[in-house]
Amino acid sequence: MKLYDRVHRIHRELAAQGLTPDLPLKVSDLTPFDQFHYHGTEAVEEAIAALSLKPGMRVLDIGAGIGGPARYIAERTGAHVTALELQEDLSAVGEDLTRRCGLSGLVDHRCGNVLDGVAGNFDCIVSMLCFLHIPDRARLFRVCRSVLREGGALYIEDFGRNRNATAAETEALAIKVQCPHVPTPEEYRSDLSGAGFAAVQLIDATADWTSFTASRLAAYRAARDRNVTIHGAEVVDGLDDFYATVAGLFSGGFIAGLKITAS
Ligand SMILES: C[S@@+](CC[C@H](N)C(=O)[O-])C[C@H]1O[C@@H](n2cnc3c(N)ncnc32)[C@H](O)[C@@H]1O
C-alpha cells in the first residue's frame, strides 16, 4: 500500500530541514510527518483525553506505523507505550526515531501481527486507522480483551460503512487501501460487545474525515513541485493516487468515520 512503502520518506523530510541521521530529534520535529491518521496530534490528544492517560499507565498501540502516536503519548503523558507494528521496516524506522528522541525508556517497539497475540497486560489500547486492515474482528477483539486488565479501556479510530459498496469501491478498498472488510456501525458495536467489551460508544466523524481527506489531497497537489524535489515523482504519484482514492471513498458516501471507546 502506497502509504506504507518507501518508509524512508521520513528521513528525506528530516534531511530537507537539516536533521541528518546523526542528530538527536524532538518529538515536535517529527509530528508533521509521523502521524499516519487524520488530524495528526490533535486526534492523539482526543485519545489521551478519552482514556485519561497518566504517567505510569501501560498503553498498547496496535498498528503503530513509525511510532508517531506512541512517541507523542509517551512524551505528553509519561505513560509507557508498547508500539506494535506488523511491518518490519516501519517498526525499525520507528524504533530508531524513538531512540533519537530519547524516548526508548518509555516506548517499546515490537514487530508482530496483533492476531498472533501480544505478551503483556495493559491498562489501555489505542489504535489509529489500523483495524480497517484486519477482517477477522472476532479474533482481533479477543486479543484486545485478553491483553487488557479488568476495567481497562480502548480507543479506536477506524472505518465503518454507511451502505453497501459498489464493485469499484470494493476493488479500490481491497487493492489500494488493503481494506477487505468494512462493518456497519451496528456490526462494530455488536462485535465489541460479543468480545466482552462494555460501555461501547461510537462517535461519527464522517463529515469531518470527508473534509479532511479532501483537503489533504488538495494540499498534497498544491505542494507537488516541492514534494517531487524531495521524494521523486514515483513516490509522489503513488501517494497522490492513495490520497485521491481515500478522498473519493469518503466523498462518495461509502465510508463512515468512527471513533470508538469501550471498556
Ligand atoms: C494507517 S497506519 C497508522 C499508523 C499509526 N497508527 C499512525 O496513526 O501513525 C496502520 C498501520 O497498521 C499496521 N497493521 C496492519 N495490520 C496489522 C496487524 N495485523 N498487526 C499489527 N499492525 C498492523 C500497518 O502496517 C500500518 O503501519
With the most atoms of ligand 1 within 8 angstroms of its CB, the residue from 30, 34, 130 to mutate is 130
Q: Using an 8 Å Cβ cutoff, are 55 and 77 in contact? A: yes
What distance in angstroms lies between residue 127's CA and the mean position of ligand 1's atoms?
A: 8
**In a 10 Å sphere around its CB, with 0-12 CB exposed, 13-18 middle and 19+ buried, how is residue 124 labelled?**
buried
Closest residue by Cα to atom 12, ligand 1, is 63
Instruction: Write out the three cell numbers for 204.
Output: 461519527
Instruction: Write out the three cell numbers for 8.
Output: 524512508
Q: Using an 8 Å Cβ cutoff, are 130 and 63 in contact? A: yes
Per-residue pLDDT of the chain (263 residues; tens, 9 = 90+): 556 667 788 999 999 999 988 899 999 999 999 999 999 999 999 999 999 999 999 999 999 999 999 999 999 999 999 999 999 999 999 999 999 999 999 999 999 999 999 999 999 999 999 999 999 999 999 999 999 999 999 999 999 999 999 999 999 999 999 999 999 999 999 999 999 999 999 999 999 999 999 999 999 999 999 999 999 999 999 999 999 999 999 999 999 999 999 99
Q: What is the model's pLDDT at position 139?
A: 98
Torsion of CA 55, 60, 64, 67, to 10 degrees: 20
The residue among 86, 77, 150, 152 whose CA lies nearest residue 107 is: 77
Ligand 1 in reach of 94 Cβ (< 6 A): no
Ligand 1 in reach of 156 Cβ (< 6 A): no
What distance in angstroms lies between residue 140's CA and the mean position of ligand 1's atoms?
A: 13
* Calpha distance 206→212 (Å, rounded): 10
Q: What is the model's pLDDT at position 197?
A: 98
Ligand 1 in reach of 160 Cβ (< 6 A): no
Ligand 1 in reach of 41 Cβ (< 6 A): no
- H helices present in the chain, as ranges: 9-16, 27-30, 40-51, 68-77, 88-100, 137-147, 167-176, 185-194, 206-222, 224-231, 233-251
88-100 vs 68-77: helix axis angle to the nearest 10?
30
Closest residue by Cα to atom 4, ligand 1, is 65
Ligand 1 in reach of 67 Cβ (< 6 A): no
Q: What is the model's pLDDT at position 1?
A: 56
Stated pTM of the model: 0.97
| Domain covering 9-162+180-206+256-262, topology | Rossmann fold (3.40.50)
Atom of ligand 1 at shortest range from CA of 68: 9
* 181 φ, ψ (degrees, to nearest 5): -145, 125
Q: What is the model's pLDDT at position 4?
A: 63
With the most atoms of ligand 1 within 8 angstroms of its CB, the residue from 85, 115, 159 to mutate is 85
Reduced to 3 states (helix: H, G, I; strand: E, B; else coil), residue 27 is: helix
* Calpha distance 239→133 (Å, rounded): 18
* Calpha distance 212→2 (Å, rounded): 19
**CA-to-CA separations, 197 to 144, 158, 187, 257, in angstroms, rounded:** 10, 17, 14, 20
Say if strands 122-128 and 148-161 run parallel, antiparallel, or are unpaired: parallel
> How distant is the alpha carbon of residue 59 from its chain centre?
15
Ligand 1 in reach of 68 Cβ (< 6 A): yes
Q: What is the model's pLDDT at position 226?
A: 95
What distance in angstroms lies between residue 111's CA and the mean position of ligand 1's atoms?
A: 11
Q: What is the model's pLDDT at position 21?
A: 87
Ligand 1 in reach of 72 Cβ (< 6 A): no
| Sequence spans of domains, the chain | 9-162+180-206+256-262
Atom of ligand 1 at shortest range from CA of 113: 20
Closest residue by Cα to atom 7, ligand 1, is 36
Q: What is the model's pLDDT at position 6?
A: 73
Q: What is the model's pLDDT at position 192?
A: 98
Instruction: Write out the three cell numbers for 106.
Output: 518509555
